[in-house]
Amino acid sequence: MDGQQRLTSVTLRLLLLRSLQASRDDAVNVDELIASVKFGQKSFNLDVDERTPCLEALFNGQSFDVSGRSESVQNLYHRYLDLTEAFPEELRGNALPYFVDWLLENVHLVEITAFSDEDAYTIFETMNDRGLSLTPTDMLRAIYSPTSMKPSAREQTIAGATASWRSMLPEGSRTQLLQSLAAKPVFDEDSRKTQRRHARGLRSNRYRIPPLAP
């Protein structure tokens, strides 16, 4: 339910490192971390249909025309260009394969499996209650995705809210609005502390996570 942004960021970094190593004899293979081949069919580990053409172009070291593409795909490609521009020059030379090895050895992805929607939202609240402030988008998602709803009703609510959101703002302006909202404090620190205490109280009184199976 969560983590796609992190997986996207990691995938873009791996694509960049693959591109930077393209002409090197000492290249470190990162292909299997980006895509896999089964029964002769290649699929990206970050498997989102609308992103596949863009990822395919980046995988092959080609540019990509984002004209007419969704805002998500445009952001994906532009963030790759940002990473390319920001990547340190000192790591592009002899140090590059060592940096790739360091990255592969020190970045770990942990999969957490929730066996119910209630557990999933409890895990989400717990992992975001560690002193780091939630963004306005995170808080809205938590408010309008209550665990009391049946999955089908929740999906309809989210789909309806998404459609309304997209109809209110033209393409491209939503990102600017979210960035401006994120730059402004929504609550002061006392309000944030109250919010965290309330969340802890809800967890202690309402949620029960079953013990892990041996």
- Of 14-28, 49-63, 175-189, the range with the lowest mean pLDDT is 175-189
**Does the pLDDT of residue 213 top 50, yes or no?**
no
Identify which of 72, 66, 96, 79 has the alpha carbon closest to the alpha carbon of residue 11: 79
**Does the pLDDT of residue 140 top 50, yes or no?**
yes
- Of 42-46, 67-71, 84-88, 204-208, the range with the lowest mean pLDDT is 204-208
58 or 160, greater pLDDT: 58
Summarised one tens digit per residue, pLDDT across range 7-51 is 899 999 999 999 999 989 999 999 999 999 888 888 998 888 999
pLDDT at 207: 40
Do 55 and 15 contact (CB within 8 A), yes or no? yes
180 or 33, greater pLDDT: 33
Do 136 and 182 contact (CB within 8 A), yes or no? yes
Give me the numbers of helices (H) and strands (E) for the chain, helices first please: 10, 2
Q: Could you tell me the pLDDT band of residue 208, with boundaries at 50, 70 and 90?
A: very low
Identify which of 107, 118, 11, 95 has the alpha carbon closest to the alpha carbon of residue 59: 11
At 30, which amino acid appears?
V
Task: Classify 105 as helix, strand or coil.
Answer: helix
Angle between helices 4-20 and 96-106 (to 10 degrees): 160
176 or 12, greater pLDDT: 12
Q: What is the DSSP string of 52-88?
A: HHHHHHHHTT-----TT--HHHHHHHHHHHHHHHHS-
| CA distance to 10, 69, 132, 179, per residue, from 193 (Å) | 32, 41, 11, 23
Mean pLDDT of the chain: 76
pLDDT at 211: 47
pTM of the entire predicted model = 0.60
Identify which of 123, 121, 130, 108 has the alpha carbon closest to the alpha carbon of residue 212: 123
- Of 46-55, 65-74, 153-162, the range with the lowest mean pLDDT is 153-162
